[in-house]
């Protein structure tokens, strides 16, 4: 009886270890896009299922959209405001941050929210709660349309100079001509290795190394007036503006592009973003305890013998 109790205790401990250390992720990842003509924000699961074109309505020419762990944000160019809603689409506030000047691009990190003031020709910044607004945070811009940030830098597209700008994450050392030779660059995104942008007038997506080298202005050709671009670890997405109303998709290497991957995305889809995957614990099935053997390597005696050998070896190694 004592041996069986010890073995059951061992199995319970084993089950707890499984539960703590073997947790599988459950992905709840979405693709969002804005349609400036319809005044809506659409949402679809990352595999293209369950598409809702009018997930959020009542926007004022929303040019771009971004999410973080708690909210969805968008740039309302029509009322010079930044909008915000909960991740489930409730609590919509179309004038969450006011006083902008035709905001068109938007991004966020763990501390701040950033947007472009197209007519003011600046990059703006505020705290994630909407306080401490600085409408002219970065001024080395020429008709800036979109903005993206990573841990070290701020990047933006300059329609006035057909270039990509970059500054330190503090806003210092702004360089309007960091990458040149673009063709009406609108949307922009980055990952750990590359920077990506949409060349509207040449119907291509451009790409360069994250340090600005090895620039390819026609990395993905055949788009239809691309405006927004968003990347994940395995895919690149873009909005095909104008009458096509499609969202295109390619693998992250730029091969096998599918221009009509998601059709029927409303009138004039423009901004686009992908939410981070949501990781949630998955229940682990508790193993059924096996009968306790009385002899052999799997018996309690065999287990105790193995533990004794391990302890003996460890003591031997500790001897001076």
Whether pLDDT at 302 is above 70: no
Q: Domains of the chain: which residue ranges?
A: 2-24+295-318, 30-274
pLDDT of residue 76: 98
120-135 pLDDT, tens digit per residue, is 999 999 999 999 999 9
What confidence category does residue 289 fall into, taking pLDDT thresholds of 50, 70 and 90?
Answer: low
55-83 pLDDT, tens digit per residue, is 999 999 999 999 999 999 999 999 999 99
Quote the tokens at residue 295: 């002899």
pLDDT of residue 287: 52
Query: Which residues, 6+ apart, have CB-to-CB distance to 129 below 8 Å?
Result: none
Instruction: State mean pLDDT over 135-156.
Output: 97
Number of neighbouring beta carbons within 10 Å of residue 216: 14
156-194 pLDDT, tens digit per residue, is 999 999 999 999 999 999 999 999 999 999 999 999 999
pLDDT of residue 319: 41
> Residue 113's closest CA among 89, 141, 148?
148
- Could you tell me which CATH number the domain at 30-274 has? 2.120.10.30
The whole-angstrom distance between residue 3's C-alpha and the CA centroid of its chain comes to: 53
What's the sign of the alpha-carbon dihedral 205, 211, 213, 214? negative
Q: How do 103-108 and 62-67 pair as beta strands?
A: unpaired
């Amino acid at each position: 009886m004592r041996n069986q109790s010890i073995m059951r205790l061992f199995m319970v401990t084993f089950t707890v270890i499984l539960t703590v250390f073997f947790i599988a992720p459950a992905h709840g990842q979405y693709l969002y896009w804005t349609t400036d003509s319809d005044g809506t924000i659409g949402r679809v699961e990352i595999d293209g299922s369950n598409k809702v074109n009018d997930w959020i309505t009542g926007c004022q020419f929303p040019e771009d959209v971004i999410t973080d762990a708690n909210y969805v944000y968008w740039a309302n160019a029509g009322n010079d405001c930044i909008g915000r809603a909960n991740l489930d689409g409730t609590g919509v506030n179309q004038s969450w941050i006011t006083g902008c000047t035709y905001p068109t691009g938007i991004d966020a990190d763990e501390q701040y929210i950033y947007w472009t003031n197209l007519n003011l020709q600046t990059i703006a910044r505020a705290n994630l709660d909407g306080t401490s607004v600085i409408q002219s945070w970065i001024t080395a811009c020429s008709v800036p349309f979109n903005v993206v940030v990573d841990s070290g830098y701020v990047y933006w597209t300059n329609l006035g100079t057909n270039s990509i700008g970059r500054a330190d994450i503090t806003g210092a050392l702004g360089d309007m001509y960091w990458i040149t030779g673009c063709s009406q660059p609108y949307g922009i995104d980055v990952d750990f290795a590359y920077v990506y942008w949409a060349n509207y007038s040449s119907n291509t997506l451009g790409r360069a190394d994250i340090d600005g080298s090895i620039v390819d202005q026609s990395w993905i050709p055949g788009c239809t007036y691309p405006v927004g671009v968003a990347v994940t670890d395995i895919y690149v997405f873009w909005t095909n503006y104008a009458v096509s109303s499609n969202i295109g998709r390619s693998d992250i290497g730029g091969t096998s592009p599918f221009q009509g991957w998601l059709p029927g995305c409303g009138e004039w889809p423009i901004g686009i973003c992908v939410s981070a995957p949501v990781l949630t614990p998955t229940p682990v099935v508790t193993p059924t305890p096996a009968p306790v053997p009385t002899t052999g390597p799997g018996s309690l005696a065999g287990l105790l013998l193995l533990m004794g050998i391990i302890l003996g070896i460890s003591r031997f190694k500790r001897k001076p």
